[in-house]
């Protein structure tokens, strides 16, 4: 049974009021890939009466249940509300997969702030707790790409009492019990939360970062603060952090909350989710976001891959924890009793699908290494590589009666797979769990750009591609790699973008979608974008900033499209790479066709001519032109707009 979404549904349960109200910027979807669904079901499991308010607009929406007995839980939704509304070019999106009928504009910009201010206005003594990706990534003073300015902690603007960062089950349980016991939200303390206080309330065992005023005026201070904030996000060695927000107003972040144990994570996924959107949305066209996740299974959390542009490390954390094999298989077996299930499990993954273990034994007692990534630019010698348990889950899952196929669609770390000593895992993956295309994320080919991204160098991807096609042939399949690519990431010059275009031409890759770098709050890459500095080294980083340069870099990744011809031609002339204009096998585009005499003086189209030239395209007959398969929309922390991450 869904939790009540209206006063009528509340009364049908025999309730005259609720203990807690959960407010979300998404439609109400009761599925464990939606953070607010987990929070609400967890509160219910603790014996509390919970009401849901989804995408409120009018004052009457907030008044649906009256005042809750204990407090409010507020989130902007599964993704940042600004990412939900705007493209990387700051153009308004025309749809929203998290809204009934896909209609855009059903949540406000900076939804968490708007919702909290409305609650505070209508219920002066409300106890407000905020969480989710939008709040978590904006917990410190942060660069806001859409306003092009540094903003204070979201706690300041929202006027909330407490902020949960990261995955919040333990915090939720602790806070709910304290609120029920009469403790004001602003006075509740535990790991994994942030609060505001004056100087007298500051802890003595904390590290300080530059104030909001300082990071707003000084980019070097911003970069140094980001470095500290990132490096302290470790549940074993992380310390409290203090950042001054105003006159005698300080943000305090407690130490990160340890990840759930396997047993605790199993218990979360055993909560009675309906795994569907609320039935009231059916007449409105349903909620598209459920389509990709309804019959998918998340078996892990966290990612020690720690890419610089990704929100996972700062939100979920680098420490990997996983569900038990039995829990995952029980979820798959339950699918077979669902009348909507057609026998196909769409994904078995998580932030990085093939991580089932800590990166090494050391991290359990000493935490993950500061200043060092587990996989990039080269793998750490202490890294533990083991796909056996994941492989066993897939083997057993595909034997469940009623299950026709089990897919792994995204989130696979190919660099981690390449460290396996034999082909067992990859061969079975390609034989049973890939449906024509495998999406992986090389992102770029230039070494220094990949260093800025925190990714392995392209040689690893090239070795993986050879292995992929060799094993694909061995298992008798026709399958293709679909690479995720980012244009205009900090560090990428026009010459780097041209190098990537040449790489794509050489490898017969024609991406249908590419992602222009999107500076979302809280990530290392966003710090580079704003400051022009690498927060780890404080060295200067080139940043493509103008719309013209972004236009050229993005077009180069799809040099073969007629509509990109003018941008590619402009880029090649500007970079003095006219050698790539011609009919040779390495050329990107053909030269302009000379005007015929009778055409002289006539107006020429802005984007004329062929998209690419001559003999260099015949090699596409090898079939790999299909490697340009459509990729899902990617934004912020999880690149697909489903709340999932991928490496």
Helix (H) or strand (E) holding 335: helix 325-335
CATH number of the domain within which 98 lies? 3.40.50.280
Determine the 3-state secondary structure of 563 from DSSP: helix
Distance separating alpha carbons of residues 411 and 639, to the nearest angstrom: 10
Asked if pLDDT for residue 637 goes beyond 90, the answer is no
Q: How confident is the model at residue 623 (pLDDT cuts 50, 70, 90)?
A: very low
- Tokens representing 164 are 């949960």
Distance of CA 384 to the CA centre of its chain: 25
Could you tell me the residue range of the domain that residue 543 belongs to? 292-628
Final residue belonging to a domain, choices 153, 177, 194: 194
244 contacts: CB under 8 Å, gap ≥ 6: 211, 212, 213, 250, 251
Say if pTM beats, i.e. exceeds, 0.75.
yes
Higher pLDDT, 633 or 279: 279
Q: Which spans in 454-491 are helix H?
A: 458-474
| Whether residue 181 is found in the same domain as residue 306 | no
pLDDT the model gives residue 198? 97
| Whether residue 447 is found in the same domain as residue 574 | yes
The mean pLDDT of 268-284, rounded to a whole number, is 97
pLDDT tens-place string over residues 384-408: 999 999 999 999 999 999 999 999 9
Final residue belonging to a domain, choices 172, 194, 216: 194
Note whether residue 624 is domain-resident.
yes
Q: How confident is the model at residue 411 (pLDDT cuts 50, 70, 90)?
A: confident
Question: Distance of CA 540 to CAs 210, 364, 530, Å?
Answer: 20, 35, 12
Q: How confident is the model at residue 644 (pLDDT cuts 50, 70, 90)?
A: very low
Which residue in 535, 556, 538 sits closest to 492, CA to CA?
Answer: 556
484 contacts: CB under 8 Å, gap ≥ 6: 439, 440, 441, 442, 443, 515, 631, 634, 639, 646
pLDDT tens-place string over residues 506-529: 999 999 888 999 999 999 999 999
Angle subtended by helix axes 388-397 and 424-432, to nearest 10: 30
Q: Which spans in 203-324 are helix H?
A: 212-217, 219-231, 262-269, 312-315
pLDDT tens-place string over residues 563-616: 999 999 999 999 999 999 999 999 999 998 765 555 544 544 433 333 323 333
Note whether residue 280 is domain-resident.
no
| Whether residue 412 is found in the same domain as residue 532 | yes
The mean pLDDT of 266-276, rounded to a whole number, is 97
560 contacts: CB under 8 Å, gap ≥ 6: 510, 611, 612
pLDDT tens-place string over residues 298-344: 999 999 999 999 999 999 999 999 999 999 999 999 999 999 999 99
CATH number of the domain within which 570 lies? 3.80.30.20
| Whether residue 27 is found in the same domain as residue 163 | yes
How confident is the prediction for the chain on average, in pLDDT? Answer: 91
Q: Are the beta carbons of 610 and 569 closer than 8 angstroms? A: no
Local structure of residue 484 (DSSP, 8 states): E
Distance separating alpha carbons of residues 466 and 217, to the nearest angstrom: 49
Higher pLDDT, 560 or 641: 560
Distance separating alpha carbons of residues 44 and 3, to the nearest angstrom: 9
291 contacts: CB under 8 Å, gap ≥ 6: none
pLDDT the model gives residue 594? 67
CB atoms under 10 Å from CB of 481, counted, come to 23
CB atoms under 10 Å from CB of 97, counted, come to 23
- Tokens representing 624 are 């790999």
pLDDT the model gives residue 437? 92
Peptide bond into 377 cis (omega under 30): yes
**Domain count of the chain?**
2
pLDDT the model gives residue 214? 98
Asked if pLDDT for residue 493 goes beyond 50, the answer is yes
Note whether residue 114 is domain-resident.
yes
Note whether residue 312 is domain-resident.
yes
Note whether residue 216 is domain-resident.
no
Residue 212 burial (CB < 10 Å; 0-12/13-18/19+)? buried
Note whether residue 616 is domain-resident.
yes
Asked if pLDDT for residue 216 goes beyond 80, the answer is yes
Which residue in 113, 91, 10 sits closest to 551, CA to CA?
Answer: 91
| Whether residue 504 is found in the same domain as residue 373 | yes
Note whether residue 257 is domain-resident.
no
Distance separating alpha carbons of residues 36 and 29, to the nearest angstrom: 9
Note whether residue 554 is domain-resident.
yes
Distance separating alpha carbons of residues 574 and 576, to the nearest angstrom: 5
Length of the chain equals 647
pLDDT the model gives residue 617? 31
pLDDT the model gives residue 635? 40
Handedness of CA 338, 340, 342, 344 (dihedral sign): negative
| Whether residue 554 is found in the same domain as residue 423 | yes
Distance separating alpha carbons of residues 245 and 213, to the nearest angstrom: 7
Helix (H) or strand (E) holding 133: helix 133-137
Q: Which spans in 387-487 are helix H?
A: 388-397, 414-417, 424-432, 447-453, 458-474
């Amino acid at each position: 049974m869904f939790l009540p979404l209206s006063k009528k549904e509340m009364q049908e349960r025999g309730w005259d009021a609720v203990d807690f109200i959960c407010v979300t910027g998404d439609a109400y979807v009761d599925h464990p890939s939606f953070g607010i669904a987990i929070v609400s079901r967890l509160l219910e499991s603790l014996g509390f009466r919970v009401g849901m308010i989804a995408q409120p607009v009018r004052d009457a929406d907030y008044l649906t249940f009256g005042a809750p007995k204990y407090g409010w839980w507020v989130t902007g939704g599964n993704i940042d509300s600004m990412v939900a509304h705007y493209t990387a070019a700051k153009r308004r999106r025309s749809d929203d997969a998290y809204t009934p009928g896909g209609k855009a504009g059903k949540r406000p910009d900076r939804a968490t702030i708007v919702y909290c201010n409305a609650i505070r206005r209508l219920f002066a003594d409300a106890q407000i707790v905020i969480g989710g990706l939008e709040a978590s990534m904006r917990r410190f003073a942060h660069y806001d790409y859409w306003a092009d300015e540094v903003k204070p902690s979201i706690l300041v603007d929202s006027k909330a009492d407490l902020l949960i960062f990261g995955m919040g089950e333990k915090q939720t349980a602790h806070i709910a019990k304290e609120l029920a016991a009469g403790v004001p939200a602003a006075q509740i303390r535990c790991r994994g939360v942030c609060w505001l206080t004056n100087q007298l309330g500051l802890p003595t065992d904390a590290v300080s970062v530059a104030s909001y005023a300082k990071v707003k005026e000084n980019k070097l201070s911003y970069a140094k603060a980001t470095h500290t904030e990132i490096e302290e996000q470790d549940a074993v060695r992380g310390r409290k952090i203090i950042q001054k927000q105003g006159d005698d107003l300080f943000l305090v972040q407690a130490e990160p909350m340890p990840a759930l144990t396997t047993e605790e994570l199993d218990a979360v996924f055993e909560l009675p989710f309906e795994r569907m959107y609320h039935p009231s949305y059916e007449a409105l066209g349903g909620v598209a976001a459920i389509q990709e996740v309804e019959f998918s299974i998340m078996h892990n959390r966290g990612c020690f891959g720690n890419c610089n542009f990704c929100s996972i490390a700062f939100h979920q954390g680098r420490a990997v924890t996983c569900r038990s094999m039995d829990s995952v298989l029980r979820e798959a077996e339950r699918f077979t009793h669902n009348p909507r299930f057609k026998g196909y499990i769409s994904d078995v993954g998580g932030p990085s699908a093939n991580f089932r273990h800590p990166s090494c034994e050391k991290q359990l007692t000493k935490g993950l290494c500061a200043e060092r990534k587990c996989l990039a630019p080269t793998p750490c010698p202490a890294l533990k590589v083991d796909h056996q348990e994941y492989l066993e889950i897939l083997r057993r899952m595909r034997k469940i009666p009623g299950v026709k196929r089990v897919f792994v669609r995204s989130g696979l770390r190919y660099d981690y797979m390449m460290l396996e000593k034999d082909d067992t895992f990859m061969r079975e993956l390609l034989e049973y769990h890939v449906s024509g295309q495998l999406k992986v994320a090389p992102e770029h080919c230039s070494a220094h750009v990949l260093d800025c991204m925190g990714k392995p160098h392209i040689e690893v991807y090239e070795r993986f591609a050879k292995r992929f096609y060799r094993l694909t042939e061995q298992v008798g399949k026709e399958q293709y790699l679909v690479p995720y690519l980012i244009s205009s990431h900090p560090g990428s010059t026009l010459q780097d973008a041209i190098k990537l275009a040449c790489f794509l031409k050489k490898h017969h890759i024609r991406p249908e979608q590419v992602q222009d770098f999107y500076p979302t709050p809280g990530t290392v890459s966003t710090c580079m974008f704003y400051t022009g500095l690498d927060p780890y080294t404080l060295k200067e980083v080139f940043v493509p900033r103008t719309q013209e340069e972004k236009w050229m870099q993005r077009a180069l990744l799809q040099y073969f499209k007629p509509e990109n011809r003018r941008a590619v031609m402009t880029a090649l002339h500007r970079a003095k790479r006219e050698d790539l204009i011609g009919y040779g096998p390495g050329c990107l585009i053909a030269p302009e066709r000379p005007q015929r005499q009778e055409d002289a003086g006539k107006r020429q189209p802005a984007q004329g001519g062929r998209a690419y030239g001559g003999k260099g395209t015949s090699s596409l007959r090898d079939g790999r032109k299909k490697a340009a398969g459509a990729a899902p929309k990617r934004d912020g922390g999880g690149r697909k707009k489903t709340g999932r991450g991928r490496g």
